[in-house]
C-alpha cells in the first residue's frame, strides 16, 4: 500500500486537520457523552459529526474522495481520538478506508 509522507505542501493541511479534530473531540466527547456511552446510548450523532469532518477518510487520497493526510498526521489524529476517549472505532475505520481505497484502485 502506498502511503503519503509529510511534505511542505501537506504540512499546513495536516496541521489544520489536527486542530479541527482537537476542537471537535473537545466539544463533542464530554463526560456526559462517555457516561451515556457506558450505559449503551447510541453514538450515531457523534459518528455523523466525525464523518462530516471527513476524519474516517483521513488516509484515502483526495482523488478517491478522502482527505489524503500523510501517515504521520493520521497517526496524530488517531492519538488525539484516543486521548479524548472517542467512543467510536475511528482508527479501525481509517485503516479500513485506506485498505478499501487501495484495493479498489
* Number of domains the chain contains: 1
Query: Is 1 a residue whose pLDDT tops 80?
Result: no
Domain span at residue 97 reads 8-104
Give the domain CATH number at 99: 1.10.540
Tell me the average pLDDT of the chain: 89
4-29 pLDDT per residue, tens: 333 444 567 788 989 999 999 999 99
26 located within any domain? yes
2 located within any domain? no
> Given this model, what pLDDT does residue 90 score?
97
Residue of higher predicted confidence among 66 and 105: 66
62 located within any domain? yes
1 located within any domain? no
Q: How far apart are CA 24 and CA 81, in angstroms?
A: 10
Amino acid at each position: 500500500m502506498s502511503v503519503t509522507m509529510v511534505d511542505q505542501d501537506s504540512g499546513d493541511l495536516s496541521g489544520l486537520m489536527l486542530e479541527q479534530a482537537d476542537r471537535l473531540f473537545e466539544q463533542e466527547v464530554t463526560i456526559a457523552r462517555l457516561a451515556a456511552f457506558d450505559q449503551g446510548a447510541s453514538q450515531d450523532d457523534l459518528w455523523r459529526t466525525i464523518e462530516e469532518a471527513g476524519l474516517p477518510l483521513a488516509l484515502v487520497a483526495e482523488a478517491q474522495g478522502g482527505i489524503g493526510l500523510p501517515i504521520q498526521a493520521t497517526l496524530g489524529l488517531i492519538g488525539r481520538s484516543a486521548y479524548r476517549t472517542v467512543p467510536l472505532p475511528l482508527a479501525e475505520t481509517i485503516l479500513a478506508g485506506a485498505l478499501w481505497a487501495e484495493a479498489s484502485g
